[in-house]
Structure 1
Amino acid sequence: MRSKSGFAPYLALIAAVFQVVLSQGAQRGQTWREPLDPFAYGLLLVGPLMIALHRKFPITTSVVTLLATYVYVWGGYPYGGVFISPIVMLVLLVLRRHRLTAWILAGATLVTFIVYPWATTQPERGLFHDLAVSSFILLTMVAAELVRIARERRAQQQRAAEEETRRQASEERLTMAQELHDVLAHNISLIHVQASTALHLIDDNPEQARTALAAIKTASKEVLGEMRSVLNVLREGAPRSPTAGLDRLDELIERSGLEVTLKRVGSRPLPPSVERAAYRIVQESLTNAARHAPGAAVTVRLEYGEREFAVRVTDTGATTPAVLSESGSGNGIPGMRERAAALGGTLVAGPSGAGFQVEARLPLPEETS
Structure 2
Amino acid sequence: MKPVRLIFHLDMNSFFASVEIAHDKTLKGKPVAIAGNPKERKGIIVTSSYEARAKGVKTTMPIWQAKKLCPALIILPANRERIRLASQRMFAILASYTPLVQQVSVDEGYLDLTHYLGQIHPVKLAGQIQARIAEELDLPCSIGIAPNKFLAKMASDMKKPNGITVLRKRDIPKKLWPLSISEMHGIGKRTIEKWRRLGILTIGDLAKADPLLVKQKFGERGLVLLDRSNGHDDRPVDPDAYEEFKSVGHSTTLRADTRNEQIIFQTLAELAAKVQKRLKQKGVMARGVQLTIRYHDWKMVTRSQKVLNPIREQADILQQASSLFKKAWTQEPVRLLGISTYDLIEQQYAYKQLDLFSYEKDQKEEQLLETINDIKAKFGDHAVQKGWHQNRGTQK
TM-score greater than 0.5 by the shorter chain: no
TM-score by length of 2: 0.21
Larger Rg: 1
Which structure ranks higher in relative contact order (CA pairs < 8 Å, sequence separation ≥ 6)?
Answer: 2
TM-score by length of 1: 0.22
Q: Which has the higher strand share?
A: 2
Structure with greater helix share of residues: 1
